[in-house]
A and B are shown apart, each in its own frame.
Chain A
């Protein structure tokens, strides 16, 4: 179906089948949008509720259509993908965003995860779109063609590719023990594992974590792991 450019496309709600996953496609290229629509049409699970040709329209349409999934291109006019994602996250939307891009660096994947993205699908692997979206709907992440339950492990792997030599933990006033605990967090360890490895109680681990969260301004383990990797807090 050829679509007129220059405007947001919202499908009438009467076309939405019950119990399907609603999807909004945001990409500046109509060919890409058409290809995505065709791939999704192979499955009965998905209903495309709108199309956006730039990041600004995508953010507006998320508000308007409240889709389950947002497929978001990285490089778009007006508002680039990651900025659009930031705007959507800040607005408190619960949409699950999957980046659909030609290429993406480990740093961009980290940033996207930090902003709440649930997956990344490369355009050349568009055939994986259905399993990727199914995984995301199940509450998992989809990174590098795989469904992932523990995103912290992915973050750790990405960190290896994106590692920074500088050790800046002192800038945040972290103690040696706190830095040690951060290293365990980035490896996806639970409190009891950390406690066992360091021969301390789980309560002590929790206390250390509270202090760490306060010092670096993060509020959960994933945020902390991402922050630690980005700022070179992870021990070699």
Chain B
């Protein structure tokens, strides 16, 4: 694709991200609720299912906007929440917190601009 078209694609994706950001953060909030339930020792299958769906969607969509690290983080959470016993509390909480930090203030279309905080 010619450079001008690339710029147009980038701008188009930026617009979509600005519109979709609240929805994406809502998905992170779903993960945070599950992580909180897990920490309190009261996780249920429904909240796990909701969290799994949120993680799956985040891992797919975030990559489209250049948030590679956040997408990879969501993919790890998705893998943890898949079949099997309840996931490890500390790992889940840490990954969800990492994802939240990566997305907070993230700018679209360049993974380099993901806000990194440790």
Contact = CB atoms under 8 A, between A and B. Distances in A.
A81 to B, nearest CB: 12
Interface of B is mostly: helix
A31 B10 contact: no
B68 A42 contact: no
Given A42-B8, A102-B75, A75 B56 contact: yes
Contact of A31 (B6, B9, B16, B66): B16
A38 B10 contact: no
Interface in A91-107: 101-103
Contacts of B95: none
Contacts of A27: 60
Interface string B1-21: 100011011101101100110
Interface of A is mostly: helix
A102 to B, nearest CB: 4
Interface residues of B, number: 26
Interface string B68-82: 100100010000000
A123 B9 contact: no
Interface string B37-77: 00000000000000000001101110111101001000100
B23 interface: yes
A131 B1 contact: yes
Nearest to A37: B16
Given A31-B24, A38-B15, A38-B16, A124 B64 contact: yes
Contact of A126 (B5, B13, B20, B24): B13
A41 interface: yes
Nearest to A75: B56
Contacts of B63: 102, 122-124
Given A31-B23, A31-B24, A42 B75 contact: no
Interface in A117-161: 122-124, 126-128, 130-131
Contacts of B20: 31, 34-35
A102 B13 contact: no
Contacts of A39: 9, 12-13
Nearest to A130: B1
B16 to A, nearest CB: 5
26 contacts: A28-B57, A29-B57, A31-B23, A31-B24, A31-B61, A32-B57, A32-B61, A32-B64, A34-B19, A35-B13, A35-B61, A38-B15, A39-B9, A39-B12, A41-B12, A43-B5, A75-B56, A101-B60, A103-B75, A123-B63, A124-B68, A127-B9, A127-B10, A127-B13, A130-B9, A131-B1
Interface of B: 1, 5-6, 8-10, 12-13, 15-16, 19-20, 23-24, 56-57, 59-61, 63-66, 68, 71, 75
Closest 7 CB pairs of A and B: A124-B63, A38-B12, A102-B60, A42-B8, A31-B61, A31-B20, A29-B57
